[in-house]
Amino acid sequence: MTTIKHHISDEILTGYAAGVLPEAFDLAVATHLSLCDECRARAMALEAVGGAVLEETETAEMAPGALDAVLARVAGTAPEAPPAAQPGTVRRKDSVLPMPLAEYAGGSLDKVAWRSVGGGVMQAVVARGDDGATARLLYIPGGTEVPDHSHHGLEMTLVLDGAFCDRGQRYGRGDVQIADETVDHTPVAEPGAACICLAVTEGRLKFSGLLPRLAQPFLRI
């Protein structure tokens, strides 16, 4: 049984419940909620509060023909339904990637298109929006240190397999680390099995070392 010690903040959960987070952060929250009963219950409570507020809000008059116009647009742009699954093609559940993330990563970990970023570390971008937020999978070999860095915005790291240690804290499967411009850190994967994470950032990282800074434009991190 997974024991999760590091959870998502109320502020981020509120944004998720309100539907105002960038897609990349929505993905990270949804993936964490699929693993964490505590945060899932908190998110449901926030959604219930939001629904109660909407019920007490005064309704606004719609323009004549507004409903017909919206239905016409939906009818003209609705995507075709996906083909039905064929007998014997039941999708295998991935043991590392929870379903919300598996949909973005090709279905399973063995379908991920990894790209080397040096030192045995690999990454695969799974979501990138015009808002500047990017979600990427990271594969960090056991015992490997991520170069010292800070951030240009919010960074959310969700552990999917293995573990890493940072600033005196251990993060295992399901744990979330939140960092911002005030945090300068050097995460280190635990010795042994590789650490696989989903990392979501608002902007590019700010590396302290010269070599990571030189490589950054090519790696787009």
In a domain, 87, yes or no: no
Q: What is the pLDDT of residues 177-214, one digit of tens each?
A: 998 877 777 889 999 999 999 999 886 655 554 444 33
In a domain, 78, yes or no: no
Rg (CA), the chain: 20
**What is the C-alpha to C-alpha distance for residues 8 and 213, in angstroms, rounded to an integer?**
30
Domain span holding position 40: 1-56+97-221
What phi and psi, each to the nearest 5 degrees, are found at residue 29? -65, -45
Q: What percent of the chain has pLDDT over 70?
A: 68
The total number of structural domains in the chain stands at 1
Q: How confident is the model at residue 78 (pLDDT cuts 50, 70, 90)?
A: very low
In a domain, 80, yes or no: no
The answer to whether the Cα torsion of 97, 106, 118, 201 is positive or negative is negative
In a domain, 79, yes or no: no
In a domain, 133, yes or no: yes
Highest mean pLDDT (candidates 70-84, 133-147, 159-173): 159-173
Per-residue pLDDT, 130: 82
Other Cβ atoms less than 10 A from the Cβ of 23: the count is 16
Q: What percent of the chain has pLDDT over 90?
A: 52
Q: How confident is the prediction for the chain on average, in pLDDT?
A: 79
Alpha helices in 60-172 (DSSP H): 66-77, 99-102
In a domain, 33, yes or no: yes
In a domain, 36, yes or no: yes
Domain CATH code at residue 169: 2.60.120.10
- pTM of the full predicted structure? 0.75
In a domain, 72, yes or no: no
Per-residue pLDDT, 156: 92
Per-residue pLDDT, 62: 55
Greater confidence (188 vs 154) lies with: 188
Greater confidence (76 vs 40) lies with: 40
Greater confidence (21 vs 129) lies with: 21
Q: What is the pLDDT of residues 14-65, one digit of tens each?
A: 999 999 999 999 999 999 999 999 999 999 999 887 554 445 556 556 566 6
